[in-house]
Amino acid sequence: EAQVTQNPRYLITVTGKKLTVTCSQNMNHEYMSWYRQDPGLGLRQIYYSMNVEVTDKGDVPEGYKVSRKEKRNFPLILESPSPNQTSLYFCASSRRDGLTDTQYFGPGTRLTVL
């Protein structure tokens, strides 16, 4: 089954404790990205990657890091989480053929930073 998976689905942590949210897709998609969803703001892109070893900032990159060492994986790293990073996070993937292809989203990770 074609899918995007994320782990963990739920996470409660404390300020300053480094964490990683994993994302994996099995569709051989070149493009992957991370979004955060906040009430009244919709979803906003954090980082994206157009292929292995190619990543760039989205609209709200502060406090986050990413890496793309393999095509299927795109982890999101919070080196020192703060309460304002409490949010619902989505990983997405799509083909990349020069047009805006349909983004397929993972199930979401609900993060609470105390």
Residues near another protein (CB under 8 A) are: 31, 33, 35, 40-45, 48, 50, 56, 58, 88, 90, 94, 96, 98-105, 107-108, 110
Nearer to another protein (CB atom), residue 14 or residue 27: 27
Task: Give the C-alpha distances (Å, rounded to integers) separating 10 from 13, 62, 111.
Answer: 10, 22, 6
Torsion from C-alpha of 95, 97, 98, 103, nearest 10 degrees: -20
Nearer to another protein (CB atom), residue 64 or residue 90: 90
Minimum CB separation of residue 85 from another protein in Å reads 18
Nearer to another protein (CB atom), residue 1 or residue 40: 40
Q: What contacts 22, CB < 8 A, 6 or more positions away? A: 5, 6, 7, 73, 75
